[in-house]
A = this chain, B = another copy of it.
Amino acid sequence: MTASPFASRERTTKERILGAAETLFATHGFAGASLRQVTAAAKVNLAAVNYHFGSKDKLIEEVFRRRLDELNSRRLSALARIAGQPDTKLEDVLDAYIRPALDLSRTDGGAAAFVRVLARAYAEHNETLRRFLSDNYGHVLRQFATEFARQLPGLAKEDIYWRLDIVTGALTYAMADFGIIQRKNDVAERDHREQAAEHLIRFAAAGMRHPSISSSTATR
């Protein structure tokens, strides 16, 4: 069960595979990164993937689950600290939603690569993957929507979801660092991320708050 103490310098074989897979999937995509690249980067034998995970698809699933569970709980615990409180502001709720996601990309571990994997997963538009994400995030989104509704009592439930959807889009985009804004050399990575978070939160707050003309059915 336990790994041999000196078989690897730092971590177990499973963990090294997961780390290498995360990086390579982010760079070359799921189909673009081969198991030979992954096992070479992890410095393990090729057969180790199928031995420990069963197949490449199962490995991909594990890469997701490991990070999503963490992001998931961070968001919910941040929300739990402020939900229902009388002095909670809209910006605080957005912060609980946005900051754990952006923080994920600047942790010292290999988690930074995962945000690009996640963004890529959105692009894959795979129905199986969509369902997987929906199952893992559905209740999170619902909890946030409830708190947003408390913050914006004049807004229809439908509008809440529309706007939360837009925020998610901007956040996904920002997480992957697609932006046209290139970080200058004299700005540290973490400061750049912090600026992105602040801009995004303030932008989103203004967008969420703007007066609704909800009942207007789109004609066109």
> Could you list which residues of chain A lie within 8 angstroms of chain B, going by C-beta atoms?
26-32, 116, 119-120, 122-125, 134, 141, 159, 161-174, 176, 178-181, 190-191, 194-195, 198-200, 202-210, 218-220
Contacts and interface: CB of A to CB of B under 8 A. Distances in A.
Contacts of A191: 218, 220
A162 B125 CA distance: 27
A112 B119 CA distance: 20
A220 B199 contact: no
Given A124-B29, A207-B203, A220-B194, A161 B176 contact: no
B218 A198 contact: yes
A176 B26 CA distance: 19
A164 B181 CA distance: 10
B199 A166 contact: yes
Nearest to A32: B31
A184 to B, nearest CB: 10
A interface majority secondary structure = helix
Contact of A172 (B173, B206, B209): B173
A91 B209 CA distance: 17
Contact of A181 (B123, B162, B181): B162
Contacts of A31: 28-29, 31-32
Contact of A165 (B162, B171, B180, B194): B180
B162 A199 contact: yes
Given A31-B28, A206-B207, A168 B180 contact: yes
Contacts of A195: 162, 218
18 contacts: A26-B125, A29-B30, A116-B125, A120-B125, A123-B123, A134-B180, A163-B203, A165-B179, A165-B180, A166-B173, A166-B203, A167-B170, A169-B169, A169-B179, A170-B170, A170-B173, A172-B178, A195-B218
Contacts of A119: 122-123
Given A123-B119, A125-B116, A166 B161 contact: no
Contacts of A163: 199, 203
